[in-house]
Amino acid sequence: MLKVAMLSKWHVHAAGYANMLKDTGKVEITAVWDDDIARGEAWAKELGADFEPDLDKLLARDDVEAVACDAPTTAHHDILIKAARAGKHIFTEKALCPTVAECEEVKKAIKEAGVTFVISYPQRGRPSVLFAKEMIARGMFGKITLVRMRDAHAGVSGNWLPDYWFEKKDAAGGAMMDLGCHPMYLLAYFLGKPKRVTGMFTAPYGKPVDENAVAIAEFDGGALGVAETAFVSYNSPQTLEIYGTEGSMIAHGEDVQFSSTKLAGIKNGFMKPDLPQAKPAPILQFVDACINGTGSPEGLGIDDAIALTELLENAYIGDENAKIVEL
């Protein structure tokens, strides 16, 4: 059994991660830490685990082999460096850190400690995304000109996100830093390293962080990536579009329409392709990687985490300064 400590219930996904770990039958949750003592004590009782208010003491425990971090984004840097130096394998919610400089310090600690690191990029395992990645690798789009992804919900306009979600000192941002991570890490996955980035963010409901956001990046070969997100969109379908000189793909969720000049019999129309099987959730891949000693799974490692923060950090700089950031 892999012995795991849960680090904070701040993030709205924390309880779900704990349930997924317990359901594996491969994990024992031995301890909980939280800077909110009442919240941490209640969660530890619910999980049947010890509550330890001192993070250093928790990380020194022999019955903690790995940690799952759901602390505020701005706290990740210090927490994860401590965890790595204590020799604990690390699973963390996205984004890794608000700045690339902080991410690089976390990377240094992880590499020096030799621990397994996994970031939660669940959409990299979706069938539509895996299909798109395969088609890119096979050259079925020709020269890619545009990738657009939208991931939005009504967390603000529907009034169901918790108030603390909008504290910039903890969250480091709003819709783009949270939900916008998904389209941003997929842009990096499909297109590689950006050349320049900008963003335009608004707050129609007046929250102190962005509620409605678009980022645009240029990648090698002139490809453009567009990431759209919001906390103020009702029933907004999760949309992925890829356009190239020889192919196009439009996906609403897992409903995929694909066209390519390289497909026999399909010149101007679209077809519904057979999709690959979804990959397990990142936290489940983390468990297996720790138990089997196989290292970070493809697409979920520390460099993938830094690639996301590079896009996020510079999109925020672009918005705040009304500029395009050259990289």
For 29, the enclosing helix (H) or strand (E) is strand 27-33
* CA–CA separation, 168 and 17 (whole Å): 24
| The dihedral sign for the CA sequence 73, 74, 77, 83 | negative
Domain hosting residue 242, numbered range = 123-274+309-326
* CA–CA separation, 314 and 292 (whole Å): 37
Same domain, 103 and 151: no
Strand partners, 199: 215
Q: Which residues 6+ apart lie within 8 Å of 216 measured at CB?
A: 197, 198, 199, 224, 225, 226, 227
- Final residue of a domain: which of 91, 115, 139? 115
Same domain, 110 and 142: no
Mean pLDDT, rounded, for 225-233? 98
CATH at 27: 3.40.50.720
Residues 309, 99: contact at Cβ < 8 Å?
A: yes
Q: Identify the CA nearest to 254 among candidates 129, 162, 136.
A: 129
**Confidence at 48, pLDDT banded by 50, 70, 90:** very high
The tally of domains found in the chain comes to: 2
CATH at 250: 3.30.360.10
Same domain, 168 and 131: yes
Same domain, 172 and 270: yes
Locus of tokens 């219930």: 9
- Final residue of a domain: which of 94, 115, 136? 115
Same domain, 111 and 127: no
Same domain, 85 and 230: no
Same domain, 240 and 268: yes
Residue 317 lies in a domain: yes
Same domain, 259 and 316: yes
Mean pLDDT (the chain) is 97
Please compute, for residue 131, the number of CA atoms within 13 A of its CA located in the half-sphere on the CB side: 24
pLDDT tens digits, one per residue of 168-200: 999 999 999 999 999 999 999 999 999 999 999
Same domain, 186 and 231: yes
- Final residue of a domain: which of 56, 91, 115? 115
In angstroms and rounded to an integer, the radius of gyration of the C-alpha atoms of the chain is 20
pLDDT tens digits, one per residue of 267-289: 667 899 999 999 999 999 999 99
Tokens found for residue 177: 């830093």
- Model-wide pTM > 0.85: yes
- Share above pLDDT 70 across residues of the chain, in percent, rounded to a whole number: 99
* CA–CA separation, 4 and 116 (whole Å): 13
Same domain, 103 and 130: no
Look at strands 144-152 and 194-202 and give their pairing.
Answer: unpaired
Report whether pLDDT(264) > 90: no
Q: Identify the CA nearest to 138 among candidates 270, 224, 244.
A: 244
Tokens found for residue 57: 């003491």
Same domain, 315 and 166: yes
Same domain, 127 and 111: no
